[in-house]
Chains A and B, each alone.
Chain A
């Protein structure tokens, strides 16, 4: 079995020569080999391929000179697996005649190398007949359409399609590295030249010179879908340029989705795609039966976050009957049961009085008694609109992630961005710093307000920032000034997130960190506008979940 990664790889040639071809789609749990043999900052896909190839028994791997990371992957594979057929195909970026000529000769050379390696033979006339057959099969295949979400960007992680399928939404198109079906060009007089021309005339990837027109093509494709998922791979930077540009010209809703080819990233992908589908309003409607309750209807919203689990009971008139906040323990399911008992007691109700329960938050799928789960993005949007309908931009800083959400006048989510990959700019980060300063987390905000000297914390990584704080302590800097520096550093990150969804006033902050006056002041200074903060900023998501429950009950 020969592995390959790129759509410009001449797969059909190897198939014709009798090799089994396998597109490498790694799904790994760690990058231990890659971090040791390459560098942690190399593209996650390339690192995943390295792990995959070292683990499995490929006869060889066909790589193309598509990007810096893949070039280094070749160097490492070649060194690690000297007896396998590890081949680097020099793929031109120019698709005009000079490029076709060069690529054809490169491919011929590769064929000779593979003949010598495998003992198999290649014959051009035979290959022509093989292509003819392939082409007939291709013509018989009919495109399956009427779908609503398109995928563009870097090679699509197979989980994207899986998730779309689970939600009964099919991909309208897939314009990523691997998504296109190959166009087979058959020129009987010059089989190889025709074949190579076909290879190079595929939908251009970002490394190709003619990719300049990709944006217009994508805009045109996007018209056939309700929304576009723009996928990028961590440490693969090529596609972010296009995203930045498309954001300015594309009229359709677009989700930027970054993945890293690990199994663990599934949850993060799921939350983003679900929230996106919810914002498109295309989630299949839930037919909600009344599961309990009699005269007055009550619903429960439960938000299972990393730091706290919050619950709210609303009545049919959207009034809050009771709410509760508990610290999330090691098992979110247990905290959920605890909070259910607590909030029911506060409300003076029994479990049977609840007509519907909707869960949200990162632990939303682990709440056994929930009738339905909705992402925290949609719930924060609904909750914020409930408390203050003038709000257009929400900043939510929770224990382990932070996000910015844009709402329209009707309170619908129109855009959102999330940071859940890096601790800097989250509640967890504040806890770390409070520990270093030897003060309680509740004291950090008030302390920051007492600051008299401006200290800048420059490190963007929470680990670096913590050591920066430790050196400031060693220099005898005042705790209040360090605390204020940290709040400004969080505000800087928050500002970037808010800017990416448009910075439209009015602004609201939710999540536990909204209770920190130091961070609130720093964010207000940064955006130059006040932040609306409701009396219990931690329960906004749970209120949103309860509102979803009411909607599902037809209220």
Chain B
């Protein structure tokens, strides 16, 4: 209890300081992340399985340690090729994830208002608004470099360009072609090579291709282990929180190719086998998870009845990469990501995933401002109907509570779960 109140007082203190003396606020924000790293290691949440406890601690360390030195990280989006940055001893921190961390200080609404007051569109993705607002407020300090991709949303190029103009963080922009063919792969692989030369200049280090090959080997192994974990998760109750899926997404996007993440996934594969059989429903979650939403936490966190077994944001690419030509391999990985190309292609992939995971239901969360996800939600619903898998579409906001009405989400979710429970073994393809 006492610890909780110390943490709360610190959050309140930083929240005020960022608003009143933004130039001082940043250091205290980073110190708070450090403290949280130790909290996650020493006092993990008791309701989580051991694997998810370790995962949370790892993601806290990633952010806290990287932010402590401006030379240790680049800003990225979640599709930036972290494997290449790792060859320079540099972490990739995606701005979407960092926005979520800022919300730990309840600063997201303040930052979003700062962005909107400067003229940024209120209808833009809230993660991007939070990040731009953090810069506008004067609180956020930048690294030396940034890397972003055109995958999967419009905001990327424009946000990074704005940040470059505003506080001078130069960046590489990777244009990911829409089509999956040889020509696209060549086009993107060329850009990845150019980016690598640019990083050599920025960080003053030589690039070693063998290091990248090794990262790809580790990545392939991690993916194999992850698929084993998912196979086991169909059968075992493995308590997590909805935020655990976001941490897993951070792992598969920002730490892919590292030994430490591979070790963690291996541990999870062993650990899950010690947990009891899953008796509840298996939910496949599509798109982002609003980790703060009361109703969703109540229904899914640690639940034996409804387990979120997978999310497309974690499993967005599942093939083996060819380590002999690592740049081409990373280009293929990005182009074949399920977020790239037509929604028809994505709906097919999600249909396959739902079947492979024996999902009892699918929940698609339409995050405010995300046109590429929201715009395809009806197509996905049709696909799931065809497969006879019930699907619920929820509208809300992954970070800004003001755009997400808990009462409305509660009514929709409860009605859906009632239908699901009533359906029992039969899956008649209700969609809501």
- Asked if A69 and B187 sit within 8 Å, CB to CB, the answer is no
29 contacts between A and B (CB under 8 A): A41-B123, A41-B369, A68-B153, A72-B343, A72-B372, A75-B342, A75-B375, A76-B375, A90-B177, A90-B179, A93-B157, A106-B179, A206-B158, A207-B150, A207-B157, A234-B123, A237-B120, A237-B158, A238-B158, A240-B124, A241-B132, A244-B118, A256-B119, A467-B407, A468-B405, A471-B407, A496-B113, A499-B117, A500-B117
A464, B405: Cβ atoms closer than 8 Å: yes
Query: B120 near A240 (CB under 8 angstroms)?
Result: yes
B4 in the interface, Cβ–Cβ < 8 Å? no
Instruction: Give A237-256 as 1s and 0s: 1 = Cβ < 8 Å from B's Cβ atoms.
Output: 11111011101000000001
For chain A residues 478-516, which have a beta carbon within 8 Å of chain B? 492, 496, 499-500
Contact A93 B375 (CB under 8 A): no
A232/B153 in contact, CB under 8 A: no
Query: In the complex, which residues of chain A have a beta carbon less than 8 angstroms from the beta carbon of B366?
Result: 39, 41
A244, B368: Cβ atoms under 8 Å?
no
Q: Report if A75-B379 is in contact (Cβ < 8 Å); known contacts: A102-B183, A237-B154.
A: yes
- Contact partner of B178 (CB less than 8 A), chosen from A78, A90, A464, is A90
Q: Are B162 and A42 in contact (CB under 8 A)?
A: no
The reply to whether A75 and B376 form a contact with Cβ atoms under 8 Å apart is yes
Q: Which residues of the partner chain B approach A334 to less than 8 Å between Cβ atoms?
A: none
Which range holds the interface residue count of chain B?
Answer: 35 or more
Binding site for A on B (CB under 8 A): 109, 113, 116-121, 123-125, 132, 150, 152-155, 157-159, 161-162, 164-166, 173, 175, 177-179, 183-184, 187, 190-191, 342-344, 366, 368-372, 374-379, 401-403, 405, 407-408
Q: Is A237 within 8 A of B369, CB to CB? A: yes
Given A93-B150, A93-B175: A244 in contact with B379 (beta carbons within 8 A): no
A43-B371 in contact (CB<8A): yes
Do A88 and B342 form a contact, CB below 8 Å, given A98-B190, A464-B405? yes
Q: With A244-B162, A460-B402, A460-B403 known to touch, is A68 a contact of B154 (CB < 8 Å)?
A: yes
Knowing A39-B375, A237-B123, A256-B119 are in contact, say whether A92-B177 is a contact too (CB < 8 A): yes
**A13 contacts B by Cβ under 8 Å:** no
Given A41-B369, A69-B375, A241-B162: A92 and B116 interface contact (C-beta under 8 Å) = no
Q: A525 to chain B: closest CB distance in Å?
A: 15
Q: B331 → chain A, closest Cβ, in Å? A: 13
Q: In the bound complex, do residue B177 and residue A105 qualify as a contact, i.e. CB atoms below 8 Å apart?
A: no
Collect the chain B residues with CB atoms within 8 Å of residue A94's CB. 175, 191
- Report how far A74 CA is from B375 CA in the complex, Å: 10
Tell me, yes or no, whether A211 is within 8 Å of chain B by CB.
Answer: yes
Contact A68 B372 (CB under 8 A): yes
* A72-B343, A93-B173, A460-B403 known; A41 vs B161 contact (CB < 8 Å): no
CA distance A53 to B342 in the complex (A): 19
Instruction: Report the minimal beta-carbon distance from B123 to chain A, rounded to whole angstroms.
Output: 5
| Beta-carbon contacts under 8 Å, A440-484 to B | 458-461, 464, 467-468, 471
| A236 CA / B124 CA spacing, docked (Å) | 8
Task: Tell me, in angstroms, the Cα distance from A103 to B343 when the chains sit together.
Answer: 22
Report the separation of the CA atoms of residues A460 and B165 in the bound assembly, to the nearest whole angstrom. Answer: 30
Query: Closest approach, in angstroms, between the C-beta of B243 and any C-beta of chain A?
Result: 20
B161 touching A73, Cβ below 8 Å: no
Given A206-B158, A237-B124, A459-B402, check contact A68 B371 (CB 8 Å): yes
Pair B343/A69 contact, Cβ less than 8 Å: no
Are A99 and B175 neighbours in the complex by a CB distance under 8 Å?
yes
Q: Is the CB of B119 within 8 A of A244?
A: yes
Which chain A positions have C-beta within 8 A of B377? 39
A54 at the interface (CB under 8 A from B): no
Per-position contact with B for A43-80: 1 when CB-CB < 8 Å, else 0? 10010000000000000000001011101111110110
